[in-house]
Amino acid sequence: MEVIALEDEAFWKLVNTVVQRVIAEQGEKVLDRWIDGDEAMRMLRISSKTTLQKLRDTGAIRYSQPEKKIILYDRESILAYIEKHVKNTF
């Protein structure tokens, strides 16, 4: 087993460097506005494509269809749909 000893100043400099690197990596992760059906179903916690189609057909969530077999869903409208159905506590 190998032991590494650091002075206080060197230790805190190392910790700050690691924290800055972690923050920088998390900042790069930007969520796409348009998501596929599988991700939309995961966000809504549903397992049926029919239910997803029903939400699309009734206008409950926004979608875009850039090609015949490609349907993309607006992440913000899904979050708004979920928020709209929140039940407040007593």
Asked whether residue 29 is domain-assigned, the answer is no
Query: Are residues 66 and 72 in contact, defined by beta-carbon separation less than 8 angstroms?
Result: yes
SS (H, E, C) 64-79: EEEECCEEEEEHHHHH
Asked whether residue 53 is domain-assigned, the answer is yes
The vertex-29 CA angle with 42 and 59, nearest 5°, equals 40
pTM (2 decimals)? Answer: 0.65
Asked whether residue 66 is domain-assigned, the answer is yes
**If you average pLDDT over residues 20-34, what whole number do you get?**
77
Asked whether residue 23 is domain-assigned, the answer is no
Domain count, the chain: 1
Owning domain of residue 43: 34-84
Confidence of residue 90 (pLDDT cuts 50, 70, 90): confident
Asked whether residue 21 is domain-assigned, the answer is no
According to the model, what pLDDT value does residue 31 have?
Answer: 75
pLDDT at 88 over 80: yes
Q: What is the pLDDT of residues 32-84, one digit of tens each?
A: 899 999 999 999 999 999 999 999 999 999 999 999 999 999 999 999 999 99
Asked whether residue 52 is domain-assigned, the answer is yes
